[in-house]
Each structure stands twice: as structure tokens, then as C-alpha cells.
Structure 1
Amino acid sequence: MPRALRATIPEAVASSVPQTFATEADRGRLTPAGLRAVRKVVEHWKLKGHEAAALLGVSTSTWDRINAGKWDSSLSQDQLTRISAIVGIFKGLHLLFADGMADRWPALPNKGPLFGGHSPVKAMIDGGIPMMLDVRRYVDALRGGL
């Protein structure tokens, strides 16, 4: 995982205590790191604003404010779950591929049954959190993590 992304993950997330994102205090504490992480992934994957917004579950205008650092609300439990899945996919791909393929793979058409010829990004946008979690499990399975 690139150092810039690794530095955005707080120690509490890396601990063995399961994170539920259920309390406002947890969401408020995790939001800044989550937003830094998702902005880095969006940059690495070269996603367009509307793609980033759809993956995060926000409007394009909200994504534009988030990306510009002009958004100061807490993310929802749903949005933090999305970020968790995205970061997990990002990390898994960087463990799987030793070259730039890790950042190209999400945008490439994929013939696997999970994707139906679409890119993983499109599949995740269309399928929401369940598909994001499926893609994370798929990437983990490819690298032998399951």
C-alpha cells in the first residue's frame, strides 16, 4: 500500500476491535481519515467526480465539496462502510499486483461472472455496498486471502 494512503488510516481502525461506525462520536473521529483515504484512492484510480460520488454514495456537488476540503460534516455509517470496502479493495490490489495494474484494474472491463463485462467500478456503482463487499472478497480470493 502506498505510504500516502497508509498514513491516513488511524490506529483505532487498525486495532483488532471491530469497528461498527454506529456512534456519532466514532463517525466524527473517523470521517477525516476516511475522506483523506478515499480521495487518495480516487486519485490513484483516476476516477471522475461522478464515479467517486456514486461510490461514496453522495451527490456530485457534495463530492466536489469533499474533494475541495470544504465539507465538514460526519460521514454516515453507510458511507464509512463504502470507504472501508474501497480501501480494502485498494490494499488487496496493491498486494496482488506489483505494477501499475493495481490502479488500472478497477476501470478495466472484466469478463468474470461477478462483473458481466463491466469494469469493477461500474459494477460497484450499480450494485452498491453489497457489490463493493463482493468485489473486496473477490480481490482477497484472487490473492489467496480467503
Structure 2
Amino acid sequence: MNAEELLERPDTTSPEAGRVALKFFFNVMELWGCTPAQQRVLLGGIGNTTYHKYKKLPRVRLPHDTLERISYLMGIHKALRIIFSNSPGKASEWVHKANAAPPFNGQSALDYMLNGRVIDLADIRRYLDGVRG
């Protein structure tokens, strides 16, 4: 399957989609400077063995919950790239900065996401979509 076919009919349950999602995830985690422990929480509280397996970027059918989490992170990353299009480094910094706006209430976006629930990722995505307009 080539890239055009993936774009025309994305099969999010395919092993190749799992590999692509994981590659995106680990690239963003590197940009954001997240620790392995933080990455495991963002992936849904996965164990060390699964984490190290995923780091090898296997062709794997990811659980729906994991795909949903990575999808929200994709949206968050995209929104930050748009908002900070003139200074991309600020996008990564923003994730770590304390934010007084709801829903953060003084926490950083990363700290908020590290509560570990899918809804926390969705909240950040909605917030950024609202900022972006």
C-alpha cells in the first residue's frame, strides 16, 4: 500500500497505521522533551515491556484507546504548529509552561495531560482549537 492509498482510505486498524502512529508519537515526544514515564502515561499507562516494543516502531495493530490518544496528540501538535507558525520552538515550550486559563488552572498543558485520561487530551485539543479559531 502506498501513501496515496493510505490517504484515500486510511485503515487505522492496519499494522502499518500502527507503525506510522507510533513514529509520529515518538517524534512529538522528542520535540516536547517528554520522559519515557510521561510517554507511557500519554499512551494510556502502558507497561515498560510494551513501551520498549513500541519504541522499535513495529507494524502493530494498536488498541483503539491508544490510537485515540495519538489522534488527540496529533491534533494538539498541529494546532500548536499553526498557532506558533512564526516561532516553532514556542510550540514545544508552550506544552511545559504554566497556564492560568481553564482547564489548566495554573498547570502546564503537559501536567494536565499527564492526569492520564483521554478526556484530558481532548480538553487540550478543544482549548487549542478555540484559540486557533
Change (3 A) 1:70 1:113: closer
Higher relative contact order, chain-length normalized (CA < 8 Å, sep 6+): 2
1:12 Cα deviation from its structure 2 partner: 6.4
Alignment match, 2:50:
62
- Greater shift in the superposed pair: 38-47 or 105-114: 105-114
How far off its partner does 1:52 sit? 0.7
Taking a change above 3 Å as real, the CA distance of residues 43 and 86 of structure 1, as seen in their structure-2 partners, is same
The residue that corresponds to 1:129 in the other structure is 118
CA displacement at 1:29 relative to structure 2 = 3.6
Q: Distance in 2 between matches of 1:71 and 1:109?
A: 35
Distance between the aligned counterparts of 2:11 and 2:124, measured in 1? 20
TM-score using structure 2 length = 0.83
Greater shift, 82-91 or 105-114, is seen at 105-114
Task: Choose which of 65, 68, 71 in structure 2 pairs with 1:81.
Answer: 68
Does 2:64 correspond to 1:102?
no
Check 1:111–1:82 CA distance in 2 against 1; reply closer, same or farther (3 A cut). same
**Whole-angstrom CA distance in 1 between matches of 2:78 and 2:68:** 15
SS in 2 for 1:110: coil
Shift of 1:112: 1.2
Q: How far is 1:62 from its partner?
A: 2.4
Q: Is the 8 A contact 1:89 1:136 kept in 2?
A: yes
Residues 69-91 of structure 1, C-alpha deviations (whole Å, 9 max, x = no match): 07554210000000000011001
DSSP 3-state at the match of 2:114? helix
Q: Which runs of 5+ in 2 are unaligned?
A: none
**Contact 1:41–1:90 (8 Å) recurs in 2:** yes
- Structure 1 length-normalised TM: 0.76
Contact 1:27 1:76 in 2 (8 A): no
- Percentage identity across aligned positions? 29
Alignment RMSD (CA, Å): 2.3
